[in-house]
Amino acid sequence: MTASSSDNSISRPITQDLEAAKKQYQYNYTHIPPLAMVDELPGSELFSNQWIYLLAQVLKAIVVNTIITNRGNRGSQSVRDDVKWFILEALIKGAIPVKISIITQLLPIIPKVLILGLSKDFRELDDLFFSMIRENGLKIFQDSLDRVTALLYKGHPTGHVSNLQDYKQIFPIMKPEAIAQTFQQDEVFAYMPVGGYNPLVIKRVNTPGDNFPVQEEHYQAVMGNEDSLATAGEEGRLYLADYKILDGAINGTFPGPQKYIYAPLALFALPKGSDSHRLLRPIAIQCGQTPGTDYPIITPNSGEYAWLFAKTVVYIADGNFHEAVSHLGRTHLFVGPFVITTHRQLSPSHPLNLLLRPHFEGTLAINDAAQRVLIAPGGGVDRLLASTVDNSRVLAVRGLQTYPFNQAMLPQQLKQRGVEDPNLLPVYPYRDDALLVWDAIHQWVSDYLSLYYKTDQDIQNDTALQAWAAEAQADDGGRVIDFGEDGGIKTRAYLIDAVTLIIFTSSAQHAAVNFPQKDLMSYPGIPLAGYMPATTLKGKVSEQDYLNLLPPLGQAQRQLNVLTLLGSVYHNKLGEYPQQHFTDPQIKPLLEKFQSHLQQVEATIKERNLHRPPYEYLLPSKIPQSINI
């Protein structure tokens, strides 16, 4: 089956394409065992120049901010001089890799930087970073990142803060995100489970459960005497965030200070009534899975700093769940195997390959960089997350393995957690916006696939498609758990659902968890690791106890840098396929229908944001086509 009349399948047998692809795209099960990843990144999977340029611009802002924090005001005339001297030092010390091949590219840039000076917006550095990254590929990270970063972070501020104002030091140029002003508020804390960085955890419960013995008096202290815990449970107004998956994880120690990971439980409730703008309110937190003296129940009445401490423990658990499970495990590593299988089993002109390919751009490259750099020993995850790097990898694997494909469909995920009904839980921006995008993608996939498959029989007769499905789940293939209908693909309806899930995860789901990294997770008030044990809550908690829970300055700076970088690269947009990508003229009107559907979704979300605390991560204009950062 082919989708275009201009493909080369007539002059060249499809099997020849596939044989070549199978050589290029080989599975590896040891990078993050036992998951399927690509063994060696094929050249065709390298990042595009456009992507590298975007990355270079973000890097520039972060590097300049870091230079000024760590070595500014050392007698030089201006910020621009500080940056200039840093670059000179990096070149002299060989930290910036000056290969012969890039000297020619840097020749016009370096004199500009060093002799003529830097422009106000440091535009010259875009080109410098661009040349360096393009010439070295992502190897720059392996070959020289250690040296550049060692130099970059020399002289960084250290130690715990004695008040939140101390964090201002790490923002000499960059501005803290708006969350820096609001993260301590209960309203913001209670909005996170429905419109924050990880709106994927809360579930509706009848009671908090035996291991979380919240009492009526705890409940009524927040919700008033007219309401009760029991009634709230009966009426579907109780919601639990349970971080049990983090229980037993090993506390990390890299790069030095003892770090702590927690497995808390947090209870939220909705006030009585029928107001469609009712928001969740936080009732109680227990910072470990076992009730008792080690983990007392903390409420808004337990004292200002005890309550802040407990809320921060939940933020930290949510951040670790977010990065390992929701982000890495359930988007990046969820989609990866399909990229490999699609190239190996579907010829470039196969309609499904054609549809999926733009949604896979950069995914193998970023996953490869993640396993080699970000989640390697000494990398960003080791440094910033609360657990050991091995444990964080295990969490990512467990996150993926507890997310079987056929149960990962959005409507089913929401039902599983009991949060699908807007009458029970009226304000859940992630749910409401994600469903709009899901439906738009589902319609497009259905329209598109129905051009090529008229009946279920057509699906069953497509041997390439069946081979694709078989390899995706095979032990020596993609190892996707619970994929297909009894092993194969029998119906068009199933194929449409499955392809919708793959495209939705590559685009919307990843956007929903990736981009809050900058807005909501880069400020140290919402840390990625704790620096005090949860048992601190057994005694009276002071302001300094709370501040010692937060990252020391050096760690805060790294968190700011890594999460700003990861949350800033918006490459390509959902629904915008490359020019001439689809040559079948029947597709044009269907694609236009999809694009206009997305515009309607955009307008609906904007309208919704007038009546709720804004949630912008699923605006189609902010959703990239693929996982590439």
The residues that touch Fe ion, with contacts defined as CB under 5 A, are 514
Give the nearest distance from C-beta 46 to Fe ion in angstroms: 18
Q: Which is nearer to Fe ion, 84 or 571 (CB)?
A: 571
Nearest to residue 501, comparing CAs of 629, 614, 404? Answer: 404
Give helix 553-566 / helix 49-71 axis angle, nearest 10°: 160
Give the nearest distance from C-beta 567 to Fe ion in angstroms: 9
Position 362, amino acid: G
Q: Which is nearer to Fe ion, 332 or 558 (CB)?
A: 332
Q: Which is nearer to Fe ion, 57 or 184 (CB)?
A: 57
Q: Which is nearer to Fe ion, 347 or 514 (CB)?
A: 514
Q: Which is nearer to Fe ion, 367 or 555 (CB)?
A: 367
Give the nearest distance from C-beta 118 to Fe ion in angstroms: 31
Q: Which is nearer to Fe ion, 286 or 514 (CB)?
A: 514
What b/e string do you get for 456-487 counting C-beta neighbours within 10 Å, with b at 16 or more? eeebbebebbbbbbbbbbbeebbbbeebbeee
Q: Which is nearer to Fe ion, 514 or 536 (CB)?
A: 514
Position 268, amino acid: F
User: What's the CA gap between 618 and 602, in Å, rounded?
Assistant: 8
Q: Which is nearer to Fe ion, 333 or 547 (CB)?
A: 333
Question: Is-contact 195 410, C-beta < 8 A?
Answer: no
Nearest to residue 405, comparing CAs of 540, 499, 517? Answer: 499
The residue assigned the tokens 């700011």 is 560
User: What's the CA gap between 51 and 46, in Å, rounded?
Assistant: 10
DSSP string, 217-272: HHHHHHH-TT--HHHHHHTT-EEEEE-GGGTTPPBP-TTSS--B----EEEEEPPS
Give the nearest distance from C-beta 568 to Fe ion in angstroms: 11
Question: Is-contact 360 381, C-beta < 8 A?
Answer: no
Q: Which is nearer to Fe ion, 31 or 80 (CB)?
A: 31
Burial class (CB in 10 A: 0-12, 13-18, 19+), 49: exposed
User: What's the CA gap between 588 and 295, in Å, rounded?
Assistant: 59
Q: Which is nearer to Fe ion, 79 or 364 (CB)?
A: 364
CA atoms within 13 A on the CB side of 465: 28
Say whether the peptide bond before residue 552 is cis (omega within 30 degrees of 0).
no
Nearest to residue 252, comparing CAs of 392, 131, 444? Answer: 392
Give the nearest distance from C-beta 143 to Fe ion in angstroms: 23
Q: Are strands 203-204 and 37-38 parallel, antiparallel or unpaired?
A: unpaired
Give the nearest distance from C-beta 200 to Fe ion in angstroms: 15
Alpha helices (H) along 417-537 = 429-452, 456-461, 463-473, 492-504, 510-514, 516-519
Q: Which is nearer to Fe ion, 388 or 514 (CB)?
A: 514
User: What's the CA gap between 210 and 47, in Å, rounded?
Assistant: 50
Give helix 333-345 / helix 14-24 axis angle, nearest 10°: 140
Q: Which is nearer to Fe ion, 299 or 514 (CB)?
A: 514
Question: Is-contact 309 541, C-beta < 8 A?
Answer: yes
256 φψ region: left (φ > 0), alpha (ψ -120 to 50), beta (else):
left
Q: Which is nearer to Fe ion, 208 or 624 (CB)?
A: 624
Number of Cβ within a 10 Å radius of residue 530:
27
Q: Which two tokens stand for residue 226?
A: 């007219």
Q: Which is nearer to Fe ion, 392 or 514 (CB)?
A: 514
Position 615, amino acid: Y
User: What's the CA gap between 296 and 316, in Å, rounded?
Assistant: 18
Give the nearest distance from C-beta 575 to Fe ion in angstroms: 20
Q: Which is nearer to Fe ion, 478 or 567 (CB)?
A: 567
Question: Is-contact 290 521, C-beta < 8 A?
Answer: no
Position 220, amino acid: Q
Give the nearest distance from C-beta 511 to Fe ion in angstroms: 9
Give the nearest distance from C-beta 515 to Fe ion in angstroms: 9
Q: Which two tokens stand for residue 184?
A: 């301590």
User: What's the CA gap between 414 and 421, in Å, rounded?
Assistant: 9
Q: Which is nearer to Fe ion, 336 or 551 (CB)?
A: 336
Give the nearest distance from C-beta 446 to Fe ion in angstroms: 27
Q: Nearest to Fe ion by Cβ — which residue?
A: 514
Coil, strand or helix at 462? coil
Phi and psi at residue 538, to the nearest 5° = -65, -30
User: What's the CA gap between 28 and 40, in Å, rounded?
Assistant: 8
